[in-house]
A and B are shown apart, each in its own frame.
Chain A
Amino acid sequence: MTSTYRYLPDTKQDQEEMLALLSISSTEALFEDLPEEIRLDGELNIPEAVPEPLLLKKMQQLAGQNINANQYPTFLGAGTYDHYIPSVVNHMISRSEFYTAYTPYQPEISQGELQAIFEFQTMVCELTGMDVANSSMYDGFTSLAEAASLAVAHTKRSKVIVSQAVHPESRAVLKTVADGQTYIIEETRLAGDVTDLKQLEEQVDQNTAAVIVQYPNFFGSIEDLAELKKIAAAKGVLFIVSANPLALALLEAPGNLGADIVVGDMQPLGIPMSFGGPHCGYFAVDKKLMRKIPGRIVGQTADDQGKRGFVLTLQAREQHIRRDKASSNICSNQALNALSSAICMSALGKQGIRDMAQLNFEKAAYMAKRLKEKGFIIENQAPFFNEFIVKLPLSVKEANAKLLEAGIIGGFDLGSDYGFENQMLIAVTEQRSKEEIDQFINVLEAVVNG
């Protein structure tokens, strides 16, 4: 009966003493209230326990069956990016006082986490140019859907317009969320590589709660938020911008261009790609929406001695108080990843984040220029950040297969989501060297000419 499992500390004697206090002879007595019909007759049919050294090996083998960005340079972006993460980030989030804690319900013994979130909220406000940010959301996609729901609840209107230049997965999540509620989604088509302003103008009406755009958009192109805002503002529509926080280091803050809600994902700043998650949604609003923001928020206050401290605040908005009257059901969030990005932003600092964004602009511009020189067509008409579309004389699938043979992970195929046949979305971050870029182009050239 004594356990041999390292996470289970009870010795035979411990168990006997505990059972004795309860005046029972076996733990079975504690499960007697389970009806006979529902009890399992044997053990669970899952693989047997594996000792630690062996398990480490097995997991290494499993990880080894994947090709990672350290082995093959990757040119995939489309919402998830291979960026440099300072070593200090992993060291600090590995402090178990942070990662083995839960939501800071007891502020007196959670000041570390609370202050770190308060600082994170401040950094998000700084980058986005907004007044208030929450402690994080699941990811950029769900964050965008929550923004739409907030807009519907706030304006009491029932239509949300989303540009097709917004990430396809964002729009897919938005559609699922809207299905559960009572609002409808209308998409605005593209005019080349940006949102079609003319169609948007026709779509926006008195029943429109929000217009949602992405900045830079899914194709890397930088939408003119000022023009988009004019259209939204004419009908009192909330303007929601989904923004890449790294790009905001050099792009004008959405808050200064009329955004009412800014959402996105902090993944580019300190969070590993990790096959798509966990990442970290952020959510920032104009102060008029402060009391409608979903999720946890940390505020500054003082203790009975007047000493500065931090607490979870404005909780009257949340599900554990409002229950079925709550407008969002979010409970746990992505606190540890918010911490990662706060540490990364602090490491990069005021100038470093600008330098990193500049490198991204330059690497992508270099690659696009070189491709053009080789006769490839770059589809972006608008200026772009670290991503752009290249048109190939063959299918993206074929091109990517050749690139893979050469030890390169190629770009994103725009065929399935947009029907843009033979068009590849290429991301070039500061991680990609000139040499890697040149090699990519050489392989592509060889394929085309070969």
Chain B
Amino acid sequence: MVEYNQLIFEVSRPGRVGSSLPVSDVDKINLQELLPKHLIRQEAAELPEVSELQLVRHYTALSNKNHGIDNGFYPLGSCTMKYNPKINEDVARFEGFSRIHPYQPVETVQGALKLLYELQEDLAVITGMDAVTLQPSAGAQGEWTGLMMVKAYHEQKGEKRTKVLVPDSAHGTNPASATVAGYKTVTIPSNKDGLVDLEELKKHVDSDTAALMLTNPNTLGLFEKEILEIAKVVHEAGGLLYYDGANANAILGKTTPGKMGFDIVHLNLHKTFTTPHGGGGPGAGPVGVKKKLIPFLPVPRVDKDGDRYVMDTNHPLSIGRVKGYYGNFGILVRAYTYIRTMGPEGLRQVSESAVLHANYLRKKLEPYFEAPYSQVCKHEFVLSGSKQKKLGVRTLDMAKRLLDFGYHPPTIYFPLNVEECLMIEPTETESKETLDAFADVMIQIAIEVEENPGVVLEAPHTTVIGRLDEVQAARQPILRYTKEKHKETVKS
């Protein structure tokens, strides 16, 4: 294949066009007469000038340099890179969903409101909560939304609590969301089994504790067996329990955060509910709450008045708006379609299969890699590259070697409490053949580390580009294209 390494700006030639606009059917206006000179653009923005085919070739060439789930296995732990169904894409593009305006009169968008209402209901059942807001755009925004409700709840009771507890295995967004919501974060260490250390927790839970944020199963893929005891400790001190739904793929139809004692839950629809990750987004992060927190939900809320669906803003205790309009509707349409596709038994089988796949893959890899936790895992598991590190090969090197075999590597160096961590989430949508083939490659790499480490240390060998100099990128940032700079690089 001919290598393509041009920016769209380098393809551009003055005078080319890639679209056609209607000819004006109304009077011309002269901006010089309308606006003061200093508000009229003096220099045109340098956007590309390309023909439609050039545009298509450019982005097709770029897509060829990108790995998605459709290209191959993508066991990125905690990201739930499962198959993104095609029907969801079709449905979200129906004009009745994609070409409706958020401020249309409610009688002209009853279908959209019905969908939102039913999705709220379904997610409430799936999480064991009493009500759901679909407004947050992503998991991190869901976390912050949840914590703002925690704050409003305590304040309503006349309490000002300042601490949010998170385990050391938590996602980085948990402590960051706590900070953005105005809380101090206290980190709770895990015990030797990789679970929340209940004794440590008890030491930190007090009348100043606003909430404990927890993923269950946690980021090590392990189920917090003492969850009811944990909930009791937090609740007795007047705190609330927040469920980070990043790992909900393990529990569908088996249990719910509500049953576990959680008060607030966010879900990542782009993880558990198959909406595409889009190269980084858009996702959606709905939040469910127990009854006592309903008054604080963001507005507007989608509600039902007889047979009619309505937008309701009349909730004086609401934390307000967290995002424009009603959430990432196009993503919500996809998740709704998925839930309807699977039904209750289907969703249960999703989790059973996801958990079976993770345990199977771990069993196959355990003889070759350090497995720091021996108990049954849920939808994902961690391995440590500590054995290989002693031989001079790091987890990063093994990840790069995986690229040579067409795999996206697992999440690496996270969670932070496992040395040289590899976090593997195979998901339920992969076939056994894929799991076996991946296991074979991992085993081959483990053998290479012992017999021929050079091939791993110098990986990747087959990608369009080698390892990139990230230090230089951060020290002398080049964050945009400029013609002048380009000329310089051409000269040198």
Contacts and interface: CB of A to CB of B under 8 A. Distances in A.
A433 B74 CA distance: 47
A138 B323 contact: yes
B204 interface: no
A229 to B, nearest CB: 11
A449 interface: no
B153 interface: no
B41 A113 contact: no
Contacts of B473: 299-301, 311, 313
B134 to A, nearest CB: 10
B343 to A, nearest CB: 3
A332 B138 contact: yes
Interface stretch (B328-336, B387-395, B442-450): B328-336
B437 interface: no
Most buried by A among B65, B85, B259: B65
A446 interface: no
A353 B473 CA distance: 32
Contact of B341 (A27, A52, A303, A330): A52
11 contacts: A3-B349, A8-B346, A43-B348, A64-B111, A76-B101, A111-B464, A118-B481, A177-B180, A180-B147, A298-B479, A339-B279
Contacts of B29: 361-362, 365
Contact of B139 (A331, A404, A409): A331
Contact of B140 (A69, A330, A369): A330
A296 B137 CA distance: 16
B98 A272 contact: yes
Given A63-B94, A82-B99, A97-B68, A331 B76 contact: no
A301 B470 contact: yes
- Size category of the B interface is 35 or more
Given A18-B432, A301-B468, 13 more contacts: A8-B349, A40-B254, A69-B99, A248-B45, A249-B45, A250-B31, A277-B329, A278-B282, A303-B466, A337-B281, A349-B19, A349-B47, A350-B49
A181 B182 contact: yes
A288 to B, nearest CB: 13
Interface string B346-380: 11111011011101100110000000000110100
A313 B470 contact: yes
A63 B176 contact: no
Give the top 6 A-B pairs by smallest Cβ distance, nearest first.
Answer: A276-B325, A63-B96, A65-B111, A49-B343, A336-B278, A276-B102
A378 B330 CA distance: 35
A325 B178 CA distance: 10
Contact of B470 (A56, A279, A311, A361): A311
Nearest to A382: B35
A132 interface: yes
B233 interface: no
Interface in A36-65: 37-40, 43-50, 52, 55-56, 58-65
B344 A108 contact: no
